[in-house]
Protein backbone atom coordinates (compact mmCIF):
# COMPACT_ATOMS: atom_id res chain seq x y z
CA UNK A 1 0.00 0.00 0.00
CA UNK A 2 1.36 3.40 -0.96
CA UNK A 3 1.78 6.28 1.48
CA UNK A 4 -1.21 8.55 2.19
CA UNK A 5 -1.73 11.29 -0.36
CA UNK A 6 -1.04 14.78 0.94
CA UNK A 7 -4.20 16.82 1.47
CA UNK A 8 -4.00 20.61 1.28
CA UNK A 9 -4.89 22.50 4.42
CA UNK A 10 -8.26 24.25 4.34
CA UNK A 11 -7.97 27.97 4.91
CA UNK A 12 -9.99 29.25 7.87
CA UNK A 13 -11.09 25.73 8.79
CA UNK A 14 -9.69 23.54 11.52
CA UNK A 15 -11.55 20.21 11.62
CA UNK A 16 -9.71 19.18 14.78
CA UNK A 17 -11.00 22.29 16.55
CA UNK A 18 -14.61 21.61 15.62
CA UNK A 19 -14.21 17.90 16.28
CA UNK A 20 -13.52 18.69 19.93
CA UNK A 21 -17.09 20.01 20.24
CA UNK A 22 -18.58 16.53 19.72
CA UNK A 23 -18.45 14.44 22.91
CA UNK A 24 -19.19 11.11 21.21
CA UNK A 25 -16.12 11.41 18.99
CA UNK A 26 -13.98 10.84 22.08
CA UNK A 27 -15.37 7.31 22.40
CA UNK A 28 -13.46 4.09 21.94
CA UNK A 29 -15.25 1.39 19.93
CA UNK A 30 -13.94 -2.17 19.99
CA UNK A 31 -10.74 -0.87 21.55
CA UNK A 32 -10.10 1.74 18.84
CA UNK A 33 -10.88 5.46 18.59
CA UNK A 34 -14.26 5.95 16.93
CA UNK A 35 -14.06 6.83 13.24
CA UNK A 36 -17.56 8.01 12.41
CA UNK A 37 -18.22 7.87 8.66
CA UNK A 38 -22.01 7.67 8.66
CA UNK A 39 -23.13 11.29 8.77
CA UNK A 40 -25.35 10.93 5.70
CA UNK A 41 -27.54 8.71 7.88
CA UNK A 42 -27.33 10.99 10.91
CA UNK A 43 -24.73 13.46 12.08
CA UNK A 44 -23.23 13.65 15.54
CA UNK A 45 -24.27 16.44 17.91
CA UNK A 46 -22.05 19.18 19.31
CA UNK A 47 -22.05 20.15 22.96
CA UNK A 48 -23.92 23.36 22.12
CA UNK A 49 -26.95 21.44 20.85
CA UNK A 50 -26.95 18.99 23.74
CA UNK A 51 -26.71 21.85 26.25
CA UNK A 52 -29.49 23.86 24.58
CA UNK A 53 -31.93 20.96 24.90
CA UNK A 54 -30.79 20.19 28.44
CA UNK A 55 -31.23 23.84 29.43
CA UNK A 56 -34.78 23.86 28.06
CA UNK A 57 -35.78 20.81 30.09
CA UNK A 58 -34.03 22.03 33.24
CA UNK A 59 -35.14 25.67 33.20
CA UNK A 60 -37.94 26.38 30.71
CA UNK A 61 -40.01 23.23 30.21
CA UNK A 62 -43.59 24.19 29.34
CA UNK A 63 -45.93 23.99 26.38
CA UNK A 64 -45.63 26.73 23.78
CA UNK A 65 -48.13 29.23 22.35
CA UNK A 66 -50.91 28.48 24.83
CA UNK A 67 -49.80 29.77 28.21
CA UNK A 68 -49.32 33.22 29.69
CA UNK A 69 -47.15 32.12 32.59
CA UNK A 70 -43.41 32.74 32.61
CA UNK A 71 -42.25 29.25 31.63
CA UNK A 72 -44.60 29.07 28.66
CA UNK A 73 -43.52 32.48 27.44
CA UNK A 74 -39.87 31.50 27.77
CA UNK A 75 -40.42 28.22 25.93
CA UNK A 76 -42.34 29.98 23.16
CA UNK A 77 -39.58 32.57 22.77
CA UNK A 78 -36.92 29.86 22.49
CA UNK A 79 -38.95 27.76 20.07
CA UNK A 80 -40.03 30.60 17.79
CA UNK A 81 -36.56 32.13 17.97
CA UNK A 82 -35.19 28.88 16.57
CA UNK A 83 -37.67 29.12 13.70
CA UNK A 84 -36.59 32.65 12.85
CA UNK A 85 -32.90 31.71 12.86
CA UNK A 86 -33.64 28.70 10.67
CA UNK A 87 -35.47 30.99 8.24
CA UNK A 88 -32.35 33.17 8.04
CA UNK A 89 -30.18 30.08 7.58
CA UNK A 90 -31.96 29.24 4.30
CA UNK A 91 -32.72 32.90 3.47
CA UNK A 92 -36.49 32.50 3.53
CA UNK A 93 -38.39 35.71 2.85
CA UNK A 94 -40.37 35.24 6.09
CA UNK A 95 -40.23 33.06 9.18
CA UNK A 96 -43.84 32.18 8.41
CA UNK A 97 -42.57 30.14 5.46
CA UNK A 98 -40.76 27.73 7.81
CA UNK A 99 -42.90 24.81 8.95
CA UNK A 100 -41.39 22.63 11.67
CA UNK A 101 -41.80 18.93 10.90
CA UNK A 102 -40.15 15.76 12.22
CA UNK A 103 -37.90 15.15 9.21
CA UNK A 104 -37.54 15.46 5.44
CA UNK A 105 -39.94 12.56 4.94
CA UNK A 106 -42.76 14.32 6.76
CA UNK A 107 -42.10 17.53 4.88
CA UNK A 108 -42.31 15.85 1.47
CA UNK A 109 -45.43 13.93 2.49
CA UNK A 110 -46.99 17.21 3.62
CA UNK A 111 -46.47 18.70 0.15
CA UNK A 112 -47.72 15.60 -1.66
CA UNK A 113 -50.82 15.27 0.49
CA UNK A 114 -51.79 18.89 1.20
CA UNK A 115 -50.76 20.57 -2.06
CA UNK A 116 -50.94 17.47 -4.25
CA UNK A 117 -54.42 16.33 -3.30
CA UNK A 118 -55.77 19.82 -3.98
CA UNK A 119 -54.01 20.35 -7.29
CA UNK A 120 -53.06 17.12 -9.08
CA UNK A 121 -55.59 15.85 -11.62
CA UNK A 122 -55.90 12.64 -13.68
CA UNK A 123 -53.36 12.62 -16.50
CA UNK A 124 -50.99 15.10 -14.84
CA UNK A 125 -47.31 14.19 -14.74
CA UNK A 126 -45.11 14.17 -11.63
CA UNK A 127 -41.46 14.27 -12.65
CA UNK A 128 -38.77 12.74 -10.41
CA UNK A 129 -35.18 11.61 -10.99
CA UNK A 130 -33.47 8.26 -10.99
CA UNK A 131 -31.43 9.10 -7.88
CA UNK A 132 -34.23 9.86 -5.41
CA UNK A 133 -34.47 8.62 -1.84
CA UNK A 134 -37.61 6.63 -1.07
CA UNK A 135 -38.91 9.69 0.80
CA UNK A 136 -39.12 11.52 -2.52
CA UNK A 137 -40.61 8.58 -4.42
CA UNK A 138 -43.21 6.84 -2.28
CA UNK A 139 -45.32 9.94 -1.38
CA UNK A 140 -45.62 10.75 -5.09
CA UNK A 141 -46.47 7.14 -5.92
CA UNK A 142 -49.31 7.28 -3.39
CA UNK A 143 -50.55 10.57 -4.81
CA UNK A 144 -50.31 9.37 -8.42
CA UNK A 145 -52.26 6.20 -7.61
CA UNK A 146 -54.96 8.20 -5.84
CA UNK A 147 -55.29 10.87 -8.51
CA UNK A 148 -54.60 8.92 -11.68
CA UNK A 149 -51.42 10.89 -12.37
CA UNK A 150 -48.32 9.60 -14.12
CA UNK A 151 -44.75 9.35 -12.80
CA UNK A 152 -41.80 10.06 -15.08
CA UNK A 153 -38.07 10.08 -14.30
CA UNK A 154 -34.97 11.97 -15.39
CA UNK A 155 -32.35 9.28 -15.97
CA UNK A 156 -28.66 9.42 -15.10
CA UNK A 157 -25.48 9.52 -17.13
CA UNK A 158 -22.88 6.76 -16.61
CA UNK A 159 -20.91 9.00 -14.25
CA UNK A 160 -23.88 9.58 -11.95
CA UNK A 161 -25.09 12.99 -13.11
CA UNK A 162 -28.59 13.86 -14.24
CA UNK A 163 -28.98 13.57 -18.01
CA UNK A 164 -30.06 17.14 -18.62
CA UNK A 165 -30.25 16.55 -22.38
CA UNK A 166 -33.55 14.76 -21.79
CA UNK A 167 -35.18 17.53 -19.78
CA UNK A 168 -36.78 19.36 -22.70
CA UNK A 169 -38.59 16.21 -23.75
CA UNK A 170 -39.66 15.37 -20.20
CA UNK A 171 -40.66 18.84 -19.01
CA UNK A 172 -43.90 19.33 -20.89
CA UNK A 173 -46.93 21.33 -19.84
CA UNK A 174 -48.42 18.13 -18.40
CA UNK A 175 -45.79 18.22 -15.65
CA UNK A 176 -47.26 19.81 -12.54
CA UNK A 177 -44.46 18.95 -10.09
CA UNK A 178 -40.74 18.37 -10.54
CA UNK A 179 -39.42 16.85 -7.30
CA UNK A 180 -35.70 16.20 -7.03
CA UNK A 181 -32.86 15.93 -4.57
CA UNK A 182 -30.33 18.72 -4.35
CA UNK A 183 -27.67 16.14 -3.43
CA UNK A 184 -27.83 12.36 -3.76
CA UNK A 185 -27.43 10.37 -0.56
CA UNK A 186 -25.89 7.50 -2.58
CA UNK A 187 -23.83 9.04 -5.36
CA UNK A 188 -23.04 12.34 -3.68
CA UNK A 189 -24.07 14.09 -6.89
CA UNK A 190 -24.78 17.78 -6.37
CA UNK A 191 -27.53 18.74 -8.78
CA UNK A 192 -27.83 22.17 -10.47
CA UNK A 193 -30.81 23.14 -8.33
CA UNK A 194 -31.24 26.65 -9.61
CA UNK A 195 -31.28 25.49 -13.24
CA UNK A 196 -33.71 22.66 -12.52
CA UNK A 197 -36.08 25.04 -10.73
CA UNK A 198 -35.91 27.52 -13.60
CA UNK A 199 -36.70 24.87 -16.17
CA UNK A 200 -39.59 23.53 -14.10
CA UNK A 201 -41.08 26.99 -13.80
CA UNK A 202 -40.73 27.54 -17.54
CA UNK A 203 -43.46 24.96 -18.13
CA UNK A 204 -45.57 26.02 -15.16
CA UNK A 205 -44.49 23.19 -12.84
CA UNK A 206 -43.72 23.52 -9.16
CA UNK A 207 -40.19 22.66 -7.99
CA UNK A 208 -39.97 20.56 -4.82
CA UNK A 209 -36.44 20.08 -3.47
CA UNK A 210 -35.29 17.29 -1.16
CA UNK A 211 -32.61 19.09 0.83
CA UNK A 212 -31.83 16.35 3.34
CA UNK A 213 -28.23 16.02 2.17
CA UNK A 214 -27.74 19.55 0.88
CA UNK A 215 -28.78 21.63 3.91
CA UNK A 216 -26.08 20.17 6.22
CA UNK A 217 -23.28 20.51 3.70
CA UNK A 218 -23.94 23.35 1.25
CA UNK A 219 -25.00 26.99 1.44
CA UNK A 220 -28.77 27.02 0.83
CA UNK A 221 -30.61 30.11 -0.39
CA UNK A 222 -34.23 29.39 -1.21
CA UNK A 223 -34.78 32.82 -2.72
CA UNK A 224 -31.80 32.41 -5.00
CA UNK A 225 -32.90 28.90 -5.94
CA UNK A 226 -36.51 30.15 -6.30
CA UNK A 227 -37.77 26.69 -5.28
CA UNK A 228 -41.39 26.36 -4.28
CA UNK A 229 -40.77 23.86 -1.48
CA UNK A 230 -37.66 22.61 0.32
CA UNK A 231 -37.57 19.88 2.96
CA UNK A 232 -34.66 18.94 5.21
CA UNK A 233 -33.91 17.15 8.49
CA UNK A 234 -32.30 18.52 11.63
CA UNK A 235 -30.61 15.29 12.64
CA UNK A 236 -28.35 15.31 9.57
CA UNK A 237 -27.08 18.84 10.34
CA UNK A 238 -25.89 18.51 13.94
CA UNK A 239 -29.43 18.85 15.32
CA UNK A 240 -31.60 16.34 17.18
CA UNK A 241 -33.72 13.58 15.73
CA UNK A 242 -37.39 14.45 15.38
CA UNK A 243 -36.62 17.91 14.01
CA UNK A 244 -36.97 19.10 10.44
CA UNK A 245 -38.20 21.85 8.18
CA UNK A 246 -40.55 22.29 5.28
CA UNK A 247 -40.00 25.62 3.57
CA UNK A 248 -42.72 26.77 1.20
CA UNK A 249 -43.46 29.97 -0.63
CA UNK A 250 -46.00 31.86 1.41
CA UNK A 251 -48.66 32.13 -1.31
CA UNK A 252 -48.60 28.37 -1.83
CA UNK A 253 -48.80 27.61 1.87
CA UNK A 254 -51.67 30.06 2.33
CA UNK A 255 -53.66 28.34 -0.43
CA UNK A 256 -53.03 24.79 0.79
CA UNK A 257 -55.43 22.94 3.10
CA UNK A 258 -54.01 21.67 6.40
CA UNK A 259 -52.15 18.38 6.53
CA UNK A 260 -53.42 17.36 9.99
CA UNK A 261 -56.16 18.62 12.26
CA UNK A 262 -56.08 19.28 15.98
CA UNK A 263 -54.95 21.83 18.50
CA UNK A 264 -52.84 24.89 17.67
CA UNK A 265 -53.55 24.75 13.93
CA UNK A 266 -56.94 26.44 14.35
CA UNK A 267 -58.28 29.89 15.14
CA UNK A 268 -61.79 28.77 15.98
CA UNK A 269 -63.58 25.43 16.13
CA UNK A 270 -67.32 24.95 15.90
CA UNK A 271 -69.21 21.68 15.80
CA UNK A 272 -69.33 21.53 12.02
CA UNK A 273 -66.56 23.83 10.84
CA UNK A 274 -63.25 25.33 11.81
CA UNK A 275 -61.06 28.24 10.76
CA UNK A 276 -57.35 27.66 10.32
CA UNK A 277 -54.57 29.41 12.17
CA UNK A 278 -52.04 31.71 10.50
CA UNK A 279 -48.83 30.37 9.03
CA UNK A 280 -46.82 28.48 10.07
CA UNK A 281 -49.11 27.10 12.79
CA UNK A 282 -51.73 26.02 10.26
CA UNK A 283 -49.50 23.03 9.48
CA UNK A 284 -48.32 22.26 13.03
CA UNK A 285 -51.15 20.42 14.75
CA UNK A 286 -50.75 19.47 18.41
CA UNK A 287 -47.91 19.98 20.84
CA UNK A 288 -44.73 20.24 18.76
CA UNK A 289 -41.31 18.75 19.42
CA UNK A 290 -40.28 21.76 21.48
CA UNK A 291 -36.88 20.66 22.74
CA UNK A 292 -36.03 19.35 19.29
CA UNK A 293 -36.94 22.65 17.66
CA UNK A 294 -34.75 24.48 20.16
CA UNK A 295 -31.96 21.99 19.46
CA UNK A 296 -32.32 22.62 15.73
CA UNK A 297 -31.96 26.33 16.36
CA UNK A 298 -28.74 25.66 18.28
CA UNK A 299 -27.47 23.53 15.40
CA UNK A 300 -28.23 26.33 12.94
CA UNK A 301 -26.27 28.74 15.16
CA UNK A 302 -23.37 26.29 15.31
CA UNK A 303 -23.21 25.79 11.53
CA UNK A 304 -23.61 29.50 10.89
CA UNK A 305 -20.66 30.26 13.17
CA UNK A 306 -18.47 27.86 11.19
CA UNK A 307 -19.79 29.04 7.82
CA UNK A 308 -21.42 26.82 5.24
CA UNK A 309 -18.92 27.89 2.58
CA UNK A 310 -16.12 26.70 4.89
CA UNK A 311 -17.86 23.39 5.48
CA UNK A 312 -18.35 22.86 1.76
CA UNK A 313 -14.71 23.72 1.02
CA UNK A 314 -13.48 21.31 3.67
CA UNK A 315 -15.68 18.49 2.41
CA UNK A 316 -14.71 19.09 -1.21
CA UNK A 317 -11.05 18.62 -0.32
CA UNK A 318 -11.83 15.67 1.93
CA UNK A 319 -13.91 13.81 -0.66
CA UNK A 320 -11.23 14.43 -3.28
CA UNK A 321 -8.71 12.91 -0.91
CA UNK A 322 -11.07 9.99 -0.33
CA UNK A 323 -11.51 9.35 -4.04
CA UNK A 324 -7.74 9.23 -4.48
CA UNK A 325 -7.19 6.93 -1.50
CA UNK A 326 -9.95 4.50 -2.46
CA UNK A 327 -8.43 4.26 -5.95
CA UNK A 328 -5.50 2.46 -4.29
CA UNK A 329 -7.74 -0.43 -3.23
CA UNK A 330 -7.83 -3.22 -5.81
CA UNK A 331 -11.23 -4.47 -6.98
CA UNK A 332 -13.06 -1.50 -5.46
CA UNK A 333 -15.85 0.12 -7.47
CA UNK A 334 -16.65 3.70 -6.50
CA UNK A 335 -20.03 4.99 -7.65
CA UNK A 336 -20.89 8.55 -8.63
CA UNK A 337 -19.03 11.54 -10.05
CA UNK A 338 -15.26 11.50 -9.80
CA UNK A 339 -15.11 15.30 -9.77
CA UNK A 340 -15.24 16.58 -6.15
CA UNK A 341 -16.65 19.92 -7.32
CA UNK A 342 -19.98 18.24 -8.16
CA UNK A 343 -19.89 15.67 -5.38
CA UNK A 344 -20.76 15.98 -1.72
CA UNK A 345 -19.00 14.11 1.07
CA UNK A 346 -20.33 10.67 0.16
CA UNK A 347 -18.11 7.74 -0.88
CA UNK A 348 -20.28 4.80 -1.96
CA UNK A 349 -18.51 1.68 -3.12
CA UNK A 350 -18.34 -2.11 -3.35
CA UNK A 351 -15.42 -4.45 -2.85
CA UNK A 352 -15.40 -7.44 -5.16
CA UNK A 353 -16.25 -10.66 -3.37
CA UNK A 354 -17.33 -9.02 -0.08
CA UNK A 355 -20.96 -8.25 0.70
CA UNK A 356 -21.38 -4.68 2.00
CA UNK A 357 -22.90 -5.96 5.26
CA UNK A 358 -19.89 -8.18 5.87
CA UNK A 359 -17.60 -5.30 5.05
CA UNK A 360 -19.34 -2.94 7.47
CA UNK A 361 -19.08 -5.59 10.19
CA UNK A 362 -15.36 -6.08 9.60
CA UNK A 363 -14.41 -2.40 9.62
CA UNK A 364 -16.52 -1.88 12.74
CA UNK A 365 -14.05 -4.14 14.54
CA UNK A 366 -11.56 -1.31 14.03
CA UNK A 367 -14.00 1.28 15.36
CA UNK A 368 -15.00 2.51 11.90
CA UNK A 369 -18.72 3.22 11.36
CA UNK A 370 -19.94 3.04 7.77
CA UNK A 371 -23.36 2.27 6.29
CA UNK A 372 -24.27 -0.82 4.25
CA UNK A 373 -27.46 -1.56 2.33
CA UNK A 374 -29.63 0.06 -0.31
CA UNK A 375 -29.66 3.43 1.49
CA UNK A 376 -33.41 3.86 0.90
CA UNK A 377 -32.74 4.11 -2.83
CA UNK A 378 -33.69 0.72 -4.23
CA UNK A 379 -34.59 1.98 -7.74
CA UNK A 380 -31.12 3.52 -8.00
CA UNK A 381 -29.50 0.30 -6.76
CA UNK A 382 -31.40 -1.62 -9.43
CA UNK A 383 -30.18 0.80 -12.10
CA UNK A 384 -26.61 0.40 -10.82
CA UNK A 385 -27.00 -3.37 -11.02
CA UNK A 386 -26.30 -4.04 -7.34
CA UNK A 387 -28.39 -5.10 -4.37
CA UNK A 388 -26.45 -3.01 -1.86
CA UNK A 389 -23.36 -0.87 -1.39
CA UNK A 390 -21.08 0.32 1.38
CA UNK A 391 -21.08 4.05 2.10
CA UNK A 392 -18.61 6.22 3.97
CA UNK A 393 -20.03 9.71 4.47
CA UNK A 394 -18.09 12.72 5.68
CA UNK A 395 -18.84 15.86 7.65
CA UNK A 396 -17.18 18.90 9.16
CA UNK A 397 -15.56 16.87 11.98
CA UNK A 398 -13.86 14.30 9.76
CA UNK A 399 -10.15 14.41 8.95
CA UNK A 400 -7.90 12.78 6.33
CA UNK A 401 -6.38 10.32 8.80
CA UNK A 402 -9.83 8.76 9.25
CA UNK A 403 -9.99 7.99 5.54
CA UNK A 404 -6.52 6.49 5.88
CA UNK A 405 -7.84 4.21 8.62
CA UNK A 406 -10.73 3.15 6.40
CA UNK A 407 -8.36 2.24 3.57
CA UNK A 408 -6.25 0.15 5.96
CA UNK A 409 -9.41 -1.60 7.18
CA UNK A 410 -10.50 -2.32 3.61
CA UNK A 411 -7.15 -3.98 2.86
CA UNK A 412 -7.55 -6.04 6.04
CA UNK A 413 -11.02 -7.12 4.93
CA UNK A 414 -9.66 -8.26 1.60
CA UNK A 415 -7.12 -10.42 3.38
CA UNK A 416 -9.85 -11.96 5.52
CA UNK A 417 -11.75 -12.88 2.36
CA UNK A 418 -8.60 -14.11 0.61
CA UNK A 419 -8.24 -11.16 -1.74
Q: Among 277, 347, 303, which Cα is nearest to 38's?
A: 347
Query: Which of 262, 289, 305 is the last residue before a domain boundary?
Result: 305
Residue 4 lies in a domain: no
343 plus 293 within the same structural domain: no
pLDDT of residue 1: 34
Q: Which of 305, 337, 352 is the last residue of a domain?
A: 305
Domain boundary among 246, 274, 305: 305
In this predicted structure, the answer to whether residue 118 has a pLDDT above a threshold of 90 is yes
Indicate whether 277 and 367 sit together in one domain: no
Determine contact, residues 373/357, Cβ cutoff 8 Å: yes
Statement to judge: residues 71 and 166 lie in one domain:
yes
Residue 11 reports pLDDT greater than 50: no
Is 376 catalytic? The answer is yes
Report residue 115: phi and psi, to 5°: -75, -45
Give a yes or no: residue 7 inside a domain.
no
What are the residues whose beta carbons fall under 8 Å from the beta carbon of 77, sequence distance 6 or more? none
Burial of 264 (0-12, 13-18, 19+ CB in 10 A): middle
Comparing CA positions, the residue from 321, 259, 330, 278 lying closest to residue 106 is 259
Give pLDDT, residue 335.
Answer: 98
- Note the pLDDT of residue 12: 55
The total of structural domains in the chain comes to 2
Q: Does 42 reside within a domain?
A: no
Q: What are phi and psi of 354, to 5 degrees?
A: -130, 120
Please, which residues bridge with residue 36 across strands?
369
Q: Is the pLDDT confidence value at 6 over 80?
A: no
φ and ψ at 49, to 5 degrees? -70, -45
DSSP state, residue 35: E
- 126 and 208 both lie in a single domain: yes
Assess whether 379 and 317 both reside in one domain.
Answer: yes
- Whether cis (ω within 30° of 0) applies to the bond prior to 42 is no
pLDDT of residue 4: 35
Work out whether the CA dihedral 240, 245, 261, 268 comes out positive or negative: positive
Same structural domain, 136 and 159: yes
Q: Give per-residue pLDDT as tens, 299-314.
A: 999 999 999 999 999 9
At 126, which CATH number?
3.40.640.10
CA nearest 238: which of 314, 293, 299?
299
Q: Is the pLDDT of residue 105 over 50?
A: yes
Question: Which ranges of 270-399 does DSSP label H, i.e. alpha helix?
Answer: 290-306, 308-326, 356-364, 378-384
Q: Which of 51, 227, 238, 376 is catalytic?
A: 376
Same domain for 280 and 319, yes or no, is no
CA 245/CA 259 separation, integer angstroms: 14
Domain limits at 323? 15-33+307-416
Burial of 73 (0-12, 13-18, 19+ CB in 10 A): middle
Q: How confident is the model at residue 418 (pLDDT cuts 50, 70, 90)?
A: confident
Across the range 376-403, mean pLDDT stands at 97
Q: Is residue 334 part of a domain?
A: yes
Q: What is the mean pLDDT of residues 43-68?
A: 96
pLDDT tens profile 151-166: 999 999 999 999 999 9
Min mean pLDDT across 10-24, 107-121, 404-418 is at: 10-24
Domain of residue 327, CATH code? 3.90.1150.10
| Confidence tier at 67 by pLDDT (50, 70, 90) | confident
Write down the mean pLDDT value for the chain.
95
Alpha carbon distance 291, 324 (integer Å): 41
Which residue from 145, 92, 155, 157 is spatially nearest to 116, judged by alpha carbons?
145
Amino acid sequence: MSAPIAMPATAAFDAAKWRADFPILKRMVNGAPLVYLDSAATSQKPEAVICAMDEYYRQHNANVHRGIHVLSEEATSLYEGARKRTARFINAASWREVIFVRNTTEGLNLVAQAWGRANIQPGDVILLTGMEHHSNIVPWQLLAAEKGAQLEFVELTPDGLLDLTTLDALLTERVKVFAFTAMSNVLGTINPTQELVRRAHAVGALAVVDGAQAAPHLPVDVQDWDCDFLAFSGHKMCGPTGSGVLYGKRALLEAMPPFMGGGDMIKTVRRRESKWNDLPHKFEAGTPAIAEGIGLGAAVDYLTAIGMDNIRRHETELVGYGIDRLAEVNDLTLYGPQDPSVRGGVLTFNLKGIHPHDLATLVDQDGIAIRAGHHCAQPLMEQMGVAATARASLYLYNEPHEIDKLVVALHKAQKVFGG
